A and B are shown apart, each in its own frame.
Chain A
Amino acid sequence: MPNDPVIRTRKLSKRYKAVQALAPLDLEVPANSIFGFLGPNGAGKTTTIKLLLGLIRPTAGSAEVFGHDIVGDTIDVRRRIGYLAQEPRYYEHMTARETLRFTARCFYSGPKSALEKRVTETLELVGLADKADRPIRGFSSGERQRLGIGQAQVNEPDLLILDEPASSLDPMGRRDVLAIMERLRQRATVFYSTHILDDVQRVSDSVAILNNGELVAKAPIEELLAGGDGIVYTIDVKGNGSDAQQRVADQPWVAEVQVAREKDCAHWLVRVTDDAAAESQLLRLMLADEHVAVTAFGRRTYELEEVFMNLVEENGNGER
């Protein structure tokens, strides 16, 4: 079904003897989204990814990818996935072309000319055409990462799973990776883990944050950046604003008005229940009062780093 989530986990968990690597996880990843999977080291991100790929077995719970069970139908799951590991390893004696050819042949039987064409196009796409026939053992970490991105998409996957895709790349490489992810969004879902919050904020539609193997937040990126207090507008006001404050507080779409005074100005936080009404009326209400001057007006947003740090600190510091 077109609106079914691409990934759906139900109480999916993994335990290694005394260590709970992943607490029961319920997660849904919508189709054609770029889904950022965040968390400090050891939070359970890679464990989740490996569970989805059938590289490890769940201790309890279940998960489906494109409706296929990750344990029983793991081959069907992997047919539709492109995967880039956190530290990708390849056969050192192979060239980049041979590596992509080997990968492509895991998915396609031929014909040979079309397969070679796909390999050549992929090499060009990731900027390795001029190094295509050199053994991988001489590649830099950035070139290996590019090859990794190439092999992850040589099958034109419906779901691309990237584990820390930009961690070993320079800024140019990171930009290229983000551009590839943006482009793939047109026809695929991208599920990626990272600790580079700036990248997440730039490209993700939805975000899940793991800490100590537990899911601590899951929301569309705008919602997460808006904070946990709902929709809040911030207004800086000069002058006597008591009438304006009352008028604003009387609106049915206003839940709360908080005012913090500083010398000759005041900082208002207006929590609203109807964003559309607030967007069209709030500033107008303020400007209608001739006793006040509005010096700043806007919707409060957080930086992802701020949200992330708050959530991780609330739920322990990420150390296992």
Chain B
Amino acid sequence: MESASIRLESAGGRGLATGFGNLVDKEYGKWWRTRRALLHNILWLSVINGFILLIGLDEMGGNPYRTLAELTEVFFRVGMFFATIGIVVSTQGSVLGERRLGTAEWVLSKPVTREAFVLSKFVVNGASFLGLAVLIPSIVFFLQTLLLAYLQPSLGPFVLGSLLNIEHLLFYLALTLAASTWLNSRGAVSGVAIGFMFAGFILPSFLPWLLVGTPWALSEFAATAARGGALPADAWQPILITLLWTALLVLAALWRFNREEF
């Protein structure tokens, strides 16, 4: 082993990011060097774009502008609903599973920080899921609207709607990761995140002020923005507060995971 040892360079690196690059590559491989990405791709194309296809075929021959507006509305509402459930289900075990199986213990016996461990999961799960459940279905959606309504949505508003969708999904990803560092069962982790989502369908009817401090209004905002509609004047509040919640949830996950004993 002498010749190799002479030439190998120490990974070096200090501070909270130690091991981050290697962990990102490992997480990336879990998505893209297995069949996971392909399965997600098929799933999201079937669920989101399949839904659009069914509605579009039904609406074909009608007013193309109305058809486009309806398809865009459905794309965002259906997409955000199923993608929220999807991101919770697909990431609920990413920290919890490793805690329980013992792989986290193994990884953390190497020169790798706990911060890098959690953040690599947030970054790679977020980017991979958003690519498969938002970006690719959006590209396909543009082709579908061209075929079904002979029109395409305006790019600017559509991108704004997509950014709000992404913010919404990242909040649920952060919530799932935080829950998976605190709780010890997958059911409980999913229950917290999906329960929170469903609470957003019910509670604002009684307590409308909750919409200001939660991400619950973002799906409405995303669909409105993508159709080219104007957002309410105070829309910045839930948008900003959701970003803050996401950051706080990531910090909570880091804080808890740093206290975990293996």
Interface, chain A (partner B; CB < 8 A): 50, 53-57, 75-76, 78-79, 81, 83, 85, 87-91, 93-94, 98, 102-103, 105-111, 114-115, 117-118, 121-122, 125, 156
User: Which of B12-20, B125-133, B139-147, B241-249 faces chain A?
Assistant: B12-20
Given contacts A56-B262, A89-B103, A102-B26, contact A107 B110 (CB under 8 A): yes
Distance between A105 CB and nearest chain B CB, rounded to angstroms: 4
Task: Verify B12–A109 contact, CB threshold 8 A.
Answer: yes
Task: Verify B11–A114 contact, CB threshold 8 A.
Answer: no
Task: Verify B106–A115 contact, CB threshold 8 A.
Answer: no
User: Which of B1-9, B48-56, B188-196, B197-205 faces chain A?
Assistant: B1-9
Which among B111, B261, B262 is the interface contact of A79 at CB below 8 angstroms? B111
Given contacts A89-B101, A118-B8, A156-B1, contact A106 B22 (CB under 8 A): yes
Given contacts A75-B18, A118-B5, contact A108 B105 (CB under 8 A): no
B109 at the interface (CB under 8 A from A): yes
Task: Verify A114–B4 contact, CB threshold 8 A.
Answer: yes
Given contacts A55-B262, A117-B3, contact A105 B102 (CB under 8 A): no
Contact digits for B6-44, partner A, Cβ 8 Å, 1 yes 0 no: 011111101000110010011001100010000000000
B119 at the interface (CB under 8 A from A): no
Which among B1, B8, B14 is the interface contact of A115 at CB below 8 angstroms? B8
Q: Which residues of A contact B30 (CB under 8 A)?
A: 91, 93
Task: Verify B109–A55 contact, CB threshold 8 A.
Answer: yes
Q: Could you pull out 28 A-B pairs where Cβ atoms are within 8 angstroms? A: A53-B108, A53-B109, A55-B105, A55-B108, A55-B261, A55-B262, A56-B261, A56-B262, A75-B18, A75-B113, A76-B111, A78-B110, A81-B109, A85-B102, A89-B101, A89-B102, A102-B26, A105-B22, A105-B25, A106-B111, A107-B10, A108-B9, A108-B11, A109-B9, A118-B1, A118-B5, A121-B1, A122-B1
Interface core residue of B1, B4, B7 (most chain A CB under 10 Å): B4
Q: Which residue of A lies closest to B113 (CB)?
A: A75
Distance between A22 CB and nearest chain B CB, rounded to angstroms: 13
B112 at the interface (CB under 8 A from A): yes
Interface core residue of B25, B102, B109 (most chain A CB under 10 Å): B109
Q: Which residues of A contact B112 (CB under 8 A)?
A: 75, 78, 106
Rounded to whole angstroms, the CA-CA distance of A118 and B112 in the bound complex is 20
Rounded to whole angstroms, the CA-CA distance of A79 and B3 in the bound complex is 20
Rounded to whole angstroms, the CA-CA distance of A98 and B22 in the bound complex is 12
Task: Verify A106–B261 contact, CB threshold 8 A.
Answer: no
Given contacts A78-B109, A118-B1, A121-B4, contact A106 B11 (CB under 8 A): yes
Tally chain B residues at the interface, Cβ within 8 Å: 33
Distance between B119 CB and nearest chain A CB, rounded to angstroms: 16
Q: Which residues of B contact A81 (CB under 8 A)?
A: 109
Task: Verify A89–B105 contact, CB threshold 8 A.
Answer: yes
Q: Which residues of B contact A76 (CB under 8 A)?
A: 111
Rounded to whole angstroms, the CA-CA distance of A156 and B1 in the bound complex is 9
Task: Verify A91–B26 contact, CB threshold 8 A.
Answer: yes
Task: Verify B22–A91 contact, CB threshold 8 A.
Answer: no
Distance between A143 CB and nearest chain B CB, rounded to angstroms: 16
Q: Which residues of B contact A55 (CB under 8 A)?
A: 105, 108-109, 261-262
Given contacts A89-B105, A111-B9, contact A102 B22 (CB under 8 A): yes
Rounded to whole angstroms, the CA-CA distance of A91 and B29 in the bound complex is 11
Q: Which residue of A lies closest to B6 (CB)?
A: A114
Given contacts A106-B112, A111-B7, contact A91 B103 (CB under 8 A): yes
Rounded to whole angstroms, the CA-CA distance of A76 and B14 in the bound complex is 9
Rounded to whole angstroms, the CA-CA distance of A108 and B19 in the bound complex is 10
Q: Which residues of A contact B18 (CB under 8 A)?
A: 75
Rounded to whole angstroms, the CA-CA distance of A93 and B98 in the bound complex is 13
Q: Which residues of A contact B9 (CB under 8 A)?
A: 108-111
Rounded to whole angstroms, the CA-CA distance of A93 and B28 in the bound complex is 13
Task: Verify A89–B10 contact, CB threshold 8 A.
Answer: no
Q: Which residues of A contact B26 (CB under 8 A)?
A: 91, 102
Q: Which residue of A lies closest to B106 (CB)?
A: A89
Interface residues of B in 236-262 (CB under 8 A from A): 261-262
Q: Which residues of A contact B3 (CB under 8 A)?
A: 117
Q: A91-B30, A109-B11 are in contact. List 11 more A-B contacts (CB 8 A).
A: A50-B262, A55-B109, A75-B18, A78-B109, A88-B102, A94-B29, A102-B22, A106-B19, A109-B12, A117-B4, A118-B8
Which among B10, B108, B113 is the interface contact of A108 at CB below 8 angstroms? B10
Rounded to whole angstroms, the CA-CA distance of A134 and B232 in the bound complex is 56
Q: Which residues of B contact A50 (CB under 8 A)?
A: 261-262
Which among B8, B25, B102 is the interface contact of A87 at CB below 8 angstroms? B102
Task: Verify B1–A90 contact, CB threshold 8 A.
Answer: no
Q: Which residue of B lies closest to A119 (CB)?
A: B4
Contact digits for B110-121, partner A, Cβ 8 Å, 1 yes 0 no: 111100000000
Q: Which residues of B contact A88 (CB under 8 A)?
A: 102, 106
8 closest A-B pairs by CB:
A89-B102, A106-B110, A114-B7, A56-B261, A55-B262, A118-B4, A83-B109, A105-B22
Q: Which residues of A contact B4 (CB under 8 A)?
A: 114-115, 117-118, 121
Distance between B88 CB and nearest chain A CB, rounded to angstroms: 22
Rounded to whole angstroms, the CA-CA distance of A281 and B223 in the bound complex is 100
Q: Which residues of A contact B107 (CB under 8 A)?
A: 106
Distance between B261 CB and nearest chain A CB, rounded to angstroms: 4
Q: Which residues of A contact B34 (CB under 8 A)?
A: 93
